[in-house]
């Protein structure tokens, strides 16, 4: 029998991998689009990679918190109660 922590880890790892892949795909596209958009302004600024790194970390943290919360809630639920109501 698996513990609650191992179930949460098992589910969280898969979702974190998906979030990381999406960040890797979206970051260059967003950087290019933002640079094109900001180039039209009179006062030109550049966007550093730190902004995208911070946004990626926030996305990973939100995904980790959400998936962990839901998997822990499902792991500690009583399956007999769920079967009775169906």
Provide the domain count of the chain.
1
Query: What residue numbers bound the domain in which 20 lies?
Result: 4-85
42-46, 50-54, 65-69: least confident range = 42-46
Q: Whole-model pTM?
A: 0.75
Q: CB-side exposure of 80: number of CA atoms within 13 Å?
A: 0
pLDDT, greater one: 17 or 81: 17
With contact defined as beta carbons under 8 Å apart, do 15 and 69 qualify?
A: no
pLDDT average, residue stretch 50-66: 93
Q: In Å, what is the CA distance from 2 to each residue of 5, 9, 37, 71, 76?
A: 8, 11, 50, 13, 11
Q: In Å, what is the CA distance from 74 to each residue of 4, 9, 69?
A: 9, 13, 9
pLDDT average, residue stretch 36-54: 87
DSSP for residue 48: -
Crossing angle (nearest 10°) for helices 4-38 and 49-76: 150
- Report the length, in residues, of the chain: 86
């Amino acid at each position: 029998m698996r513990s609650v922590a191992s179930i949460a880890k098992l589910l969280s790892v898969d979702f974190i991998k998906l979030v990381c892949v999406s960040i890797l795909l979206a970051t260059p596209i967003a950087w290019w689009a933002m640079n094109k958009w900001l180039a039209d302004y009179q006062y030109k600024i550049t966007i550093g990679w730190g902004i995208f790194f911070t946004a990626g970390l926030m996305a990973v943290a939100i995904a980790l918190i959400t998936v962990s919360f839901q998997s822990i809630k499902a792991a500690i639920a009583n399956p007999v109660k769920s079967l009775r109501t169906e």
